[in-house]
Structure 1
Amino acid sequence: MTVAAATVPKISIVTPSFNQGSFLEETIRSVISQGYPNLEYIVMDGGSTDGSVDIIRRYREHIAFWKSGPDAGQSDALRQGFQRATGEILAWLNSD
């Protein structure tokens, strides 16, 4: 039995990341493999130089919004991500 997206609350998950490429792909796969039907996934990258952006681009069809650029740290990345979020339930999952 599948649950229609309209019948469950929308969950927005924000992942802040900076040079966490060695962990980021596993984090993204963990979120998208849950199979929740009404998920908004947001990845906020602080301008990584370790290949993180390439990983994010590989999964872009599963990511509602992503940005890579300088920020003022993890709390700022979370703030920016939550400002974009439209879910009824908000959560974050660190990339490591």
Structure 2
Amino acid sequence: ISYAIGKAEPVAVDVHTFATGTHSDEKLAEAVRRVFSLKPSDIIGQLGLRRPIYNLTSCYGHFGSALFPWEQVSEQHVEALRGELEQHD
């Protein structure tokens, strides 16, 4: 996801499955744009980024720990992505 200063919406959304996906990277990127609000303020709210939990990331990093909201999979988002991909296939 790429942003430009002063713009609320991203200027680019890229998905790279390295040929492991069942849909093209372009279709996945389009579905991501339609399903998720990618405004920085919405991302901050959805992931709780204003909560001071980041000292926890200093020991083992910020990926792979179920403690962090960005590692949680929302079944609602999964179903919405599936629906978008089926609808635009």
**What TM-score do the two structures reach when normalised by structure 2?**
0.29
Q: Using CA pairs below 8 Å that are at least 6 residues apart, which structure has the higher relative contact order?
A: 1
**What TM-score do the two structures reach when normalised by structure 1?**
0.27
Which structure carries more helix by proportion? 2
